[in-house]
Amino acid sequence: MRIGILGASGRVGTSLVELIVSNPGLELAAALVSPGSRLVGKPVAGSSIEYRPADAAMKSHCDVIIDFSTPQASMALQDAIGVKSIPVVIGTTGFSAEDDARLSACCAHRPMLISANFARGFEAFRLNVLGFARMMPEGEPRVSETYHVRKKAEPSGTSRLLAGQIEEARTAVMGFAAAKTPITVFREGDTVGINAVSFDLGSAEARFTYQVHTLSAYAEGAIAAAQWLSSGHREPRRYSLADSLAAR
């Protein structure tokens, strides 16, 4: 399987490249970075290709593209792909509502799997948090996150996903609109990722914590999703990580 990586020089992109070039069953078809990147034209260690500017994506004959870049770069990739049916796995977060709607529209042409968190076990964590919210809707929820100091200060895609789905779950059970779930943001050193959810019951409190130790957790999950998305005939639509895990 020929995989293209958009964001190949990034934290996750670097891990993706390393995992792909060290897997004999996978082939790195494209390592895409910013047009002005100092890496453009330089060889990708362990592979036979060079880093290329993102606008070279369509010259690489990828079977699937994995994107861990920026919302702007990710949307530009969609423009570059146009109406082609190349499957795309998107890990990039921070899309505006308009961009997210445009991504959904692009799924008319190709299967795309979009997830704010590909790390192993995150789906089980998320489902257990929602299970608690449904059983104990009176519990006052709080979401918090801790990431590396280079991550933007606004809440992560993961926290926004958890907070929104907790609100939806509580609203559905209580029959009236739940209050917005507060999100507390911490940035600390090189912390890869700690996501926490608590439910205050007054006389008791439940706490759920999920910690990612290495960036390969995200990369492994994204590669597994890409293998699923590009195996067999996937209808052109928007898929979630849950879709791929349920079908395995």
Ligand X SMILES: NC(=O)C1=CN([C@@H]2O[C@H](COP(=O)(O)OP(=O)(O)OC[C@H]3O[C@@H](n4cnc5c(N)ncnc54)[C@H](OP(=O)(O)O)[C@@H]3O)[C@@H](O)[C@H]2O)C=CC1
Interaction between residue 87 and ligand X (CB under 6 A)? no
Q: How far is the CB of 85 from ligand LZUJQKHR (least distance, A)?
A: 27
Q: How far is the CB of 35 from ligand X (least distance, A)?
A: 7
Interaction between residue 68 and ligand X (CB under 6 A)? yes
Among 78, 92, 144, 230, binds ligand X (CB under 6 A): 92
String of DSSP letters for 188-235: -TT--EEEEEEEE-SS-EEEEEEEE--THHHHHHHHHHHHHHTSS---
How many Å apart are CA 159 and CA 99, to the nearest integer?
19
Q: Are 166 and 141 contacting, i.e. CB atoms less than 8 angstroms apart? A: yes
Number of residues that this document lists for the chain: 248
Among 66, 73, 106, 112, binds ligand X (CB under 6 A): 73
Q: How far is the CB of 7 from ligand LZUJQKHR (least distance, A)?
A: 11
The tokens describing 169, both together, are 């779950």
How many Å apart are CA 14 and CA 1, to the nearest integer?
18
Closest listed residue to residue 40, CA positions, set 53, 21, 28: 53
Among 3, 21, 54, 106, binds ligand X (CB under 6 A): 54
Among 12, 21, 143, 197, binds ligand X (CB under 6 A): 12
- The piece of 19-27, 112-120, 174-182, 200-208 that touches ligand X (CB under 6 A) is 112-120
Name the residue type at position 103: L
**Interaction site with ligand LZUJQKHR (CB under 6 A):** 93, 116-117, 147, 151, 156-158, 193
147's contact among ligand LZUJQKHR, ligand X, none, with CB below 5 to 8 A by partner kind, is: ligand LZUJQKHR
Q: Which is nearer to ligand X, 197 or 219 (CB)?
A: 219
Q: How far is the CB of 179 from ligand X (least distance, A)?
A: 26
Interaction between residue 37 and ligand X (CB under 6 A)? yes
Name the residue type at position 198: S
Residues ≥6 apart with Cβ < 8 Å to 202: none
How many Å apart are CA 77 and CA 54, to the nearest integer?
7
The tokens describing 231, both together, are 């195996």
Interaction between residue 70 and ligand X (CB under 6 A)? yes
What's the distance, CA 207 to chain centroid? Answer: 24
Q: Which is nearer to ligand X, 7 or 137 (CB)?
A: 7
Q: Which residues bind ligand X (CB under 6 A)?
A: 7-13, 32-34, 37, 54, 68-70, 72-73, 91-94, 115-119, 157, 218
